[in-house]
Amino acid sequence: MNDNKSLSHTKYNCKYHIVFAPKYRRKVFYGEKRREIGIILRKLCEYKGITIIEAECCPDHIHMFVEIPPKYSVSSIMGYLKGKSSLMIYEKFGNLKFKYRNREFWCRGYYVDTVGKNAKKIAEYIKNQLEEDKIGEQMKINYKEDPFMGSK
C-alpha cells in the first residue's frame, strides 16, 4: 500500500502522534465540549490540509494521529491548533475564561512522535485510549479500597 502524498515538487509520508492537554490538566472534555473541540480541531486541520487519521478526546488530554505536509513544521502546526482552538473555545464557552487566565486554555508543551511503520499500532492505541484510561482509574480506586493493602 502506497501512503505517499504529494505537493507540487514533493512526495511525502509524514505522520505524527501528538498528545496535548488543557492547562492544569483539568478534566473539561465531556458532552458538548468534547463534541465541540472535535469539530474545532477538524475544521482547523482542514484549513491547513492536515489529514486526521485517528483522534481521541479523553477527559483531560487529546490524542491525534495526523499527516502533516512537509511545508509545515510540527511546532508551527501545534501553535496554530492550540492558539486558534483556544480562541474558538472561549468564543463558544465564555464561562471558561474565568478558570484560565489570559485565555491560556492549553498547556505550553505537547508530546509528538514520528510514526514510521507503526501506523496501525498507533491508530489502534489511540482508538482504545479512552477504555484504557477508564481501566486505569478503576485499578487505582480498587487499590485504595483494599483493606489488606493499607490506605494510601
Q: Say if CB 71 and CB 7 are below 8 A apart.
A: yes
Contacts of 67 (CB under 8 A, 6+ apart): 5, 13, 14, 15, 16, 50, 51, 53
CA dihedral for 73, 74, 78, 81, sign (positive or negative): positive
Looking up cell 492558539 gives 83
Q: Say if CB 19 and CB 129 are below 8 A apart.
A: no
Q: Say if CB 44 and CB 52 are below 8 A apart.
A: no
Is residue 125 part of the annotated active site? The answer reads: yes
Identify the active-site residue in 12, 72, 90, 125.
Answer: 125
The catalytic residues are: 125
